[in-house]
Amino acid sequence: MTSESHTSSLSRREFLGFAAGAGLVLSSLSAMSGLSGTTAFAAEGPVFALPPLPYAENALEPHISARTISFHYGKHTKAYYDNANELLKAVNPAPTSLEAVFLAAGKDPAALALFNNAAQACNHTFYWRGLTPGGPKAPTGKLAELITASFGDFEAMKKELAATSVSQFASGWGWLVQDGGTLKVVKTPNAANPLQNGQKPLLTVDVWEHAYYLDYQNRRADYVKAVLDNLVNWDVAAANLG
């Protein structure tokens, strides 16, 4: 199973340098939808609280087990929030969104630990919000129209997103994004996020091994198919499109 480290630190000088950079990013994010501007990432003071799951831990069974979610959400996702909060203790004033944090930290090699934890906190919360135990099995309205215009039809989009997600080497993410007036399927490694490339995320599939290994072992393709066929919350994806 892919290993990952949840312990790291920055010097006070690096914190202060990050804080100055983050201040420049905050205002540019205020108009973004999807990941930014959602209550899921609201903070009180310097702490970014781990958002609750929008469903019970066993709600996604049989496709994703309660055991997987107890580890994936209860330990992995929580650790990213805990580590980001710890690394942000020396930043004053505290940044107002985790998106601002990882976009600024991603431009500073000295802030790699902060980028990894803040971006993974955002990526995971976006992933959890995009799943549902029920709901429509296909998009409607504007999102459906854009999918048809961009990919030909819904099944073609799902096929491309599945193939892209499965083909991500090692840890990472498959994404459906808006890029200008069209939709695209992209993949990112590790903690990277399409916002770094000016793309608006609509939907993501987590293909880190901790997302599926307890249930599917090395059968990543089966996990991705189960998610795309049964668990995507297309209402949330449409709301992310705006």
The reply to whether 6 sits in an annotated binding site is no
- CA geometry: angle 199, 72, 59, nearest 5 deg: 95
Instruction: Please name the amino acid found at residue 206.
Output: D
210 in a known ligand binding site:
yes
**Of residues 203, 142, 136, 213, the one with CA closest to residue 171:** 213
Token pair for 192: 């990277």
The answer to whether 179 is a known ligand-binding residue is no
The reply to whether 124 sits in an annotated binding site is yes
24-30, long-range: CB < 8 A, 24+ apart: 24/104, 25/100, 25/103, 25/104, 26/95, 26/96, 26/97, 26/100, 29/97, 29/99, 29/100, 29/103
The residue with tokens 């096929």 is: 159
Rounded Cα–Cα distance for residues 228 and 221 (Å): 11
Residues annotated in the binding site for Mn(2+), as ranges? 72, 124, 206, 210
Residues annotated in the binding site, as ranges? 72, 124, 206, 210
